[in-house]
Structures are given as structure tokens and as C-alpha cells.
Structure 1
Amino acid sequence: MGGKIACYLDCVSPYSYFAFLHLQKNSAALLSHDVEVEFIPVFLGGINVGSGNKPPWTLPAKAKYSHYDFGRAKKYFDTPNIKTPSFFPILSLLPQRSMTYIKSHFPKTQYESAFGSLWVAMWQDQLDISKPNLLARILSLNFSAGQVKAILEGANKPEYKQKLLDNTQEALSKGAFGCPWFWVTNGEGKEEPFFGSDRFHFMWEFLGLPWKDVELLLKDKAKI
């Protein structure tokens, strides 16, 4: 077995959060099969423009359906307290550049904890993390005051602006048209793309992992 899941995410996307949570929930099982998971920050706005895609809320039919789908996803991923902020969507460049900087300078566990805190802040606590002062407050949950200062300064340096742009272009070069986007390599070295937070069963199959399908149970006659 073995392999790698490269997961391209943006904090502006709640479905990125669902994917992030699901991969973390299954991290021990994936590790036991020698499957590496890497979370890569991208700018979803750039992916939409680069691919010609349009956000769901800009298309009436998609927007109407998203109301149902979002509710179902919240229940499935056990995130009942998240809701769309009144200020949505945000320009996610600053938080995503910050994650790019953090990924380059801090341990993986600290990076992933910080990334997760962005979704909680925006989608549960209703904080506009595109604002530097609010982003700093959330980063302080995982970093010292000096580290937060360095992160915010680093996020505005050309090197990390370019790195986020490169990550976004990399995702586009692999066919991305939204987030979460996955580029998966199996144990044989074969590669395939996957999209969304509801295709993990296809991903496990591609990786050759043992998994259980959804099973519809017969009605229990004893309870009739």
C-alpha cells in the first residue's frame, strides 16, 4: 500500500474544513497504511478565476441546493455550530499567506492546529480573520506574541505571497476548479485527482486501503 494525499485547502471554504476534519479523524489509520497527508494552502479565489468556475452562491440553482447540502454535511461531519458568517465571503489572502509561512517555519502538528483554528474562528465564532487584528488573536492560540508578529510580517513578504500563488497555480495545473482539491498518489506511483468532501470512498479504493461501504440495513421486524 502506501501513498500520499496532497490536499489543497482555503479557510474561506467550509467544505475544505469538512475534508480537513475527516482526514485528521482518519490520520492514524492512514499512517498505519503508510499514507502521507499534506495540507497545502491555496487561494480559492485564484482557482475560481483560473479555472473559469463560479462560486455556488453566484448561481441561483447552486445556491438553493447548497442550503440543503451544507446542512447535511454539518450533520455528517459533526459540526452543528458552524454557519455562514454575515461577512462571507472574505478575501482570504492574508490568512492563507500566514498558513504558507507557518507551514515553512513550524512543526506539522502546530501548523495543522493553527489551520484548524481559522475555520473555527470564521465559521463558528463568526470572526472576520481577513482583518489582521482578528487573525492575530486566533494565531495567538497556537503561537507566542513574538511568533504571531513574525508570522504576520512574513505573510506580507514577497516570498510567501509568491509561494501561495505557486501553490494555487500548482493546484490549477493538476486540474483544480475548487476546494478541497486532492492530488493522490497510490503505492504503485499512479496519480489521480479527487474533488470535494464526499469522495473519500473513491480515494480509499484508489489507494488500495481496506474500507467499509455504506450499508443499508434491513428493517428489524422484531421492532414492528
Structure 2
Amino acid sequence: MSKVATKLPRIDYYFDVISPFSYIGFEILQKMENQWKGISVRYIPFFLGAVMKESGNRPPAMLPAKSIMMMTDLQRTAKFWNIPLTPPPQFMDWIRKYRTTGAMKILLVLEEQDKELMLRAAREFWLRLWSRSEKIFEDLDFVEVLKAIGVKNVEEVIEKSKEEKYAKILTENTQRGVDMNAYGAPWINVVTSDGEEHPFFGSDRFHLIADLLQQPQPLPDRLLFGQKSKL
């Protein structure tokens, strides 16, 4: 891996709102940001469809046995972390018909305005799809998401997202993932203070990241509080 100059250890979290495990990892990382000290975090929208194609990977939903296990894992993991997640019945139809590039470009527009606004929108996209079984692919869906997070200039944001600039940024973000040998989401690149890069795949690697960065181990609040009560 190449070395890059860094002042603080940094976590680059590459995600796509189509990915339920990106949603789980997002909530875990949001939680750990409050507990880990001296760590910089960047949330980077990319297009999972292109990553899968470039890497030669296939979506789990396209492999029947893997799809069944994925849904089981999703339910187990969501329950463990107390994350509201219910696979939408129309998911297979939707992923055949739609792409998430529009949603990801909405996030890029919001990121320029306010990082926290972008993160709220990402969470709302995930909640719509993976908690309420609502679409996240078309302009009318974007209107609902932007209104839900309190954006006033909704139409302006949607129109701006269609500018070539944001398609280019999304392509560049996606290519960086491909260059790091990403094959799914979330893809996590940890840059330690010595400039070394350490790639991780999936929402279940945060215990390894915590160990690498010498930070507290991630646990749900019920277990964390339970540990504290025993001390």
C-alpha cells in the first residue's frame, strides 16, 4: 500500500445506500466516533454497482444460497446492534430496475454544504429502503428524503446533483475504491499515523480496526453498560 501524509489516524468509509451492511457499519462507526479519540473519519459515497462489476464480484442477492444467509446475517446483526432493519419485499425487483447513482450524487451535493447534512441524508436513505421498504432511486424519492432532513431548497439540490461535476466525483470515488481492490461495501481504508494504509471489508471488522488503532472495542450500549457495572 502507498503511504500518504497524515496528522491523525484516519478512517475512510466507502459506502453505497443500496447496501444494508453499509448501513449497519455506518451506525457502528457513528457510535465509535464518540468513543474513539484522535481519529479522523471521512464518509465517502461511491457506486457499488461499478465496484462489483470491476472486481468481478456478484451481489449476494443473485446467489440463492448466499442470499438466504445474507438475510439471516442481516437480521442477527441488526438485532445485536439494535438497528431497525427489515429487508424490503420489492428489493430484487428494484435492484434489477434501478441504480443508486442519483441518490449518491444527492449526497455529494449535500456534502459540499454540510457534512452532517450529508450524513443525515444517508441515514434517511437507508431508513427508507431498509426500515420502511420505500424507494430511494428517483427524483420523487429524493424530494421525500430532503424534506425529511429539513432541506429548504429541495428542487435546487436535485437539479444540482445532475451536473456533470457530481457524476465525475462519484466516478473518482468509485475508482479509488476499485484501485484499492474493493469488491463490496462497506469498504474501509484505515490510514495509520505512520501513513500506512490498511483496507477492511464489511461491517463486522470494527473490532480489528479498534485493535489496529488501539481504541476501545465496539459494543452495543447494553453490553458496554453491563461491562461497566461489573467493574
**Would the TM-score normalized by the shorter structure come out above 0.5?**
yes
Match of 2:19 among 13, 17, 22: 13
Is structure 2 residue 99 aligned with structure 1 residue 91? yes
Q: 1:115-165, CA deviations, whole angstroms, 9 ceiling, x for partnerless residues? A: 11110111112211102112111111224342x212111111111011101
Matches of 2:52 and 2:32 in 1, distance apart? 29
5+ long unaligned stretches in structure 1: 214-224
Match of 2:53 among 46, 49, 60: 49
Using the aligned pairs only, state the percent identity: 30
- Seen in structure 2, the aligned counterparts of structure 1 residues 64 and 121 have a Cα distance that, compared at 3 Å, is closer
Q: Tell me the equivalent position of 2:3.
A: none
State the TM-score, normalized to the length of structure 2: 0.85
Q: Tell me the equivalent position of 2:222.
A: none
Matches of 2:163 and 2:71 in 1, distance apart? 38
Letter in 2 for 1:15: F
Where do 4+ consecutive residues of structure 1 move more than 4 Å? none
Matches of 2:127 and 2:42 in 1, distance apart? 20
Q: Tell me the equivalent position of 1:77.
A: 81
Check conservation: 2:12, 2:41, Cα contact below 8 A.
yes
Q: Tell me the equivalent position of 1:116.
A: 123
- Seen in structure 2, the aligned counterparts of structure 1 residues 67 and 126 have a Cα distance that, compared at 3 Å, is closer
Q: Tell me the equivalent position of 2:146.
A: 139
How many residue pairs end up in the alignment?
Answer: 210
Letter in 2 for 1:192: H
Matches of 2:106 and 2:151 in 1, distance apart? 15
Match of 1:173 among 156, 179, 190: 179
Is structure 2 residue 40 aligned with structure 1 residue 36? yes
For residue 171 of structure 1, report the CA deviation from its aligned partner.
0.8
Check conservation: 2:17, 2:23, Cα contact below 8 A.
yes
Check conservation: 1:5, 1:35, Cα contact below 8 A.
yes
Matches of 1:72 and 1:49 in 2, distance apart? 28
Letter in 1 for 2:140: N
Cα RMSD after superposing both structures = 1.9
Q: Tell me the equivalent position of 2:114.
A: 107
Matches of 2:218 and 2:140 in 1, distance apart? 45
For residue 76 of structure 1, report the CA deviation from its aligned partner.
1.5
SS of structure 2 residue aligned to 1:26: helix
SS of structure 1 residue aligned to 2:212: helix
Q: Tell me the equivalent position of 2:62.
A: 58
Larger Rg: 1
Check conservation: 1:8, 1:39, Cα contact below 8 A.
yes
For residue 81 of structure 1, report the CA deviation from its aligned partner.
4.5
Q: Tell me the equivalent position of 1:216.
A: none
SS of structure 1 residue aligned to 2:148: coil
Is structure 2 residue 210 aligned with structure 1 residue 204? yes
For residue 77 of structure 1, report the CA deviation from its aligned partner.
2.1
